[in-house]
Amino acid sequence: MTSLLTLHQLSKRFGERQLFNIEQLQIRQATAYVLTGLNGAGKSTLLRVLAGLEPADAARVTFLDSEVRLAPYPRDMREAIVYVHQHPVMFSTSVADNIGYGLVSRGVPKPEVARRVEEAMQWAGVGHLRDSKPTVLSGGEKQRIALARAKVLAPKLLLLDEPTANLDGAAREQVIALIPSLTASGSSVIMACHDRDLIALSGVQRLKLRDGRLQARQQRIRVA
């Protein structure tokens, strides 16, 4: 499978403290990963580094077989990589406007925005909420809307920070059910989480941050 993003000697420091020093991180296209580790190991920071939201040092970075630098963060990576926060920020407009915000900011024509937003709402199961304001939404609805807002941009890499951490019951199951379709549509996904059901999803690769190092495990296959 083709490599999407590869980083060599990726290092992040806070003053004198080195949070992690990763020899190599390779992300393949249309592949799902779970990133695990103790609280404070650097999972969220690593996602933010990959999204260009935190500075870090790297000896070599390749994106779609082209060598790039992390600083300044490449425009091609900024358009191809989307980060979804554990607590998604919603604008005080409608659900449809929230989902379409990124497309509008990229100058996508209005008819195309409307079409893609409608598809994303149906995918996330939130079409009935299209005119609702964020203040009336549940945590699970906000998380699914955040995923739809990310998916509508057709990212090559989607970074999810604890996507089910604040959910339970049906809301959690609804979010988990959306993950396989992301890779099926061609996106790679990295999920920082402790959720055993996410970790056990069929075909998901496991990455573990421990003592500043990254450990990779072979692909997990669930037999029906």
Cis peptide bond upstream of 134, omega within 30? no
Query: How far is residue 144's CA from residue 134's CA, in Å, rounded to a whole number?
Result: 12
Query: How far is residue 205's CA from residue 220's CA, in Å, rounded to a whole number?
Result: 6
Q: What is the pLDDT of residue 1?
A: 62
Q: What is the pLDDT of residue 169?
A: 87
Pairing of strands 32-36, 205-210: parallel
Query: How far is residue 58's CA from residue 24's CA, in Å, rounded to a whole number?
Result: 10
Question: pLDDT tens digits for the chain (224 residues)?
Answer: 689 999 999 999 999 999 999 999 999 999 999 999 999 999 999 999 999 999 999 999 999 999 999 999 999 999 999 999 988 889 999 999 999 999 999 999 999 999 999 999 999 999 999 999 989 999 999 999 999 999 999 999 999 999 998 888 899 999 999 999 999 999 999 999 999 999 999 889 999 999 999 998 754 434 33
CATH of domain 3-217: 3.40.50.300
CA-nearest of 153, 157, 154 to 6 is 157
**Domain spans of the chain, in order of start:** 3-217
The pTM score is 0.93
Residue carrying structure tokens 């060598």: 67
Query: How far is residue 99's CA from residue 130's CA, in Å, rounded to a whole number?
Result: 9
Helix, strand, coil percentages for the chain (3-state, nearest 5)? 35, 30, 35
Single-letter amino acid, residue 84: V
